[in-house]
Amino acid sequence: MHRFSRLLGLAGLLATLVAGLIAGPVAAAGSATVGHVYVNNNSAGRNTIAAFDRHADGSLTPISGSPFDAGGAGTGAPFGSAGGLQETADGRYLLATDPASNQVSVLRIKPNGGLRLADVASSNGTTPTSIAVHGSLVYVANGGAGGSNYTGFRLNAGGRLRPIPGSTYALPDNALPGHILISPDGRRLVGTRVGPNAGPSYLDAFAISRNGRLTPAPGSPFAAQRIGPFGSTFSPVHGDQLFVSNAHDGAGAGSVSVYDVAADGTLTAIAGSPFADFQTAPCWVAISPDGGALFAINTGSGSISRYSVAADGALTLAGSTALNGTGLRPFDAAVSPDGDHLYVVDAGVAKVSAFSVDGTTITEEAGSPVAIPGGAAPFGMVVD
């Protein structure tokens, strides 16, 4: 899901002007800073995290010093992953995957929103793709051949990651985990297995014990409803509802599945699931804070599908909205905590697209998309 610092005098003025030229229009005068946006740049050689001030009007301006050193290494090429950057609930730390160095970085969030590297730890596998955080509990999905697994860690108060003994759950080399996430109550964990392009595809589901270890749900892994389950999210209102995008069914055949998640982690698709979006490759999903609107990011179509969400989780398609610009490759997405804006990472041109949100209606902001400082092939994003 962090504050702002200023440079004084002429140096500060020049920095602001340069930032405006690089990252798009500066926020309108009087537009307050209400939060921040962070992006995992996935930079080759030495990974970095870009940081923006987020303003009340939805605009973004780079924080002084951005991008910030993440310690590990990214791939420098578009990388299929959801949840590759996460923020702790107390707002103290960011955790980022470093897929090329098989590591996870922890960065302390300073009062001005800037970042300082706190730790770089082995992911206990190869090619980490996704991170899930709940309190001090951290799980990482590793997707590389010979080291594909889910592994648990504890994050201490000083920002250090420590592996949980006996927590590693091995996966087949062809599982290709795309996203791992923990339920709002912290008691269940779900991972999506994207799998081969032609399938089969599965979802892993677990109960989480008090010691942080995983117990597979009866019947896990569960066969996915469609090929390529990828981005996923729990409802922030109904914590037993899980939404999963299905990315690999082909042109115009994208959909979103909805599952009820039992206390032991068992997944049961609701009536009517999956729900079609008639677009190509919906790879990421984002949900509004009130749980009433769901957005599916269609990487293949360069569009965003908009659904209303009923109390039982059923989806009604409101339509699809194309993104502005050429060369875009929309990836991860998040809705701001106040529900007023949706932000989307564009891996093809290293930019962030910004939309105002009114229920299931979205409107791209003037000046969007905005360039990401240091962006290489970004994929993970936090909006707070």
Per residue in 266-290, pLDDT (tens digit) is: 999 999 999 999 999 999 999 999 9
The verdict on residue 161 lying in a domain is: yes
Burial category of 239 from C-beta neighbours within 10 Å (exposed 0-12, middle 13-18, buried 19 and up)? middle
Q: For residue 3, is pLDDT > 50?
A: no
Residue 15 forms part of a structural domain: no
Residues 6+ apart with CB under 8 A from 163: 124, 151, 152, 153
Q: Calculate what percentage of the chain has a pLDDT beyond 90.
A: 85
At 201 the pLDDT is 95
Considering the entire predicted model, what is its pTM?
A: 0.91
Q: Any residues with CB less than 8 A from the CB of 216 and at least 6 apart, and which?
A: 169, 204, 205, 206, 265
Residues forming a β-bridge with 6: none
Q: Which domain holds residue 179?
A: 33-383
Tell me whether residue 5 is in a domain: no
How far is residue 142 from each of residues 76, 112, 162, measured CA to CA in Å?
18, 32, 16
- Report the pLDDT value the prediction gives residue 24, as an integer from 0 to 100: 43
Are 278 and 254 in contact, with CB atoms under 8 Å apart?
yes
Could you give the 3-state DSSP secondary structure of residue 9? helix
pLDDT of residue 79: 82
Lowest-confidence range among 27-36, 82-91, 291-300, 313-322? 27-36
pLDDT at 63: 97
Structure tokens at 67: 């991008």
Name the domain count of the chain. Answer: 1
| Whether the predicted pLDDT of 325 surpasses 90 | no
Q: How confident is the model at residue 115 (pLDDT cuts 50, 70, 90)?
A: very high
Q: What are phi and psi of 148, to 5 degrees?
A: -85, 125
* pLDDT value of position 197: 85
Q: CA torsion, points 193, 194, 197, 199, in degrees to nearest 10? A: 40
Residue 32: CB partners within 8 Å, gap ≥ 6? 55, 56
Residue 75 located in a structural domain: yes
Tell me the pLDDT band of 29, cut-offs 50, 70 and 90.
Answer: very low
pLDDT at residue 239 in the model = 95
On the question of pLDDT at 137 being above 50, the answer is yes
Of 17-21, 249-253, 338-342, the poorest mean pLDDT is in 17-21
Q: Whole-angstrom Cα distance, residue 297 to residue 275?
A: 14
User: Is 70 exceeded by the pLDDT of residue 12?
Assistant: no
The CATH number for 98's domain is: 2.130.10.10
- What whole-number distance in Å separates Cα of residue 86 and Cα of residue 253? 30
CA atoms within 13 A on the CB side of 27: 19
Average pLDDT over residues 313-318: 98
Contact residues for 165 (Cβ-Cβ < 8 A; gap 6+) = none
pLDDT for 20: 38
Q: Using CB atoms within 10 Å of the CB of residue 198, give its burial: 0 to 12 exposed, 13 to 18 middle, 19+ buried.
A: exposed
In this predicted structure, which of 28-37, 148-157, 233-242, 369-378 has the lowest mean pLDDT? 28-37
* Residue 237 placed within a domain: yes
Q: Is residue 212 part of a domain?
A: yes
pLDDT for 11 equals 33
Provide the 10 A C-beta neighbour count for residue 298.
Answer: 26
Burial group, residue 326, by CB count within 10 angstroms (0-12, 13-18, 19+): exposed
- The whole-number pLDDT of residue 322 equals 94
Q: List CB contacts of 8: < 8 A, sequence separation 6 or more.
A: none
Residue type, 91: G
Beta-strand pair 370-371/351-358: antiparallel
Residue with tokens 């702790």: 88
104: closest CA among 139, 58, 57?
139
Is residue 164 a part of any domain in this protein? yes
CB 59 within 8 A of CB 78: no
* 21 within domain boundaries: no
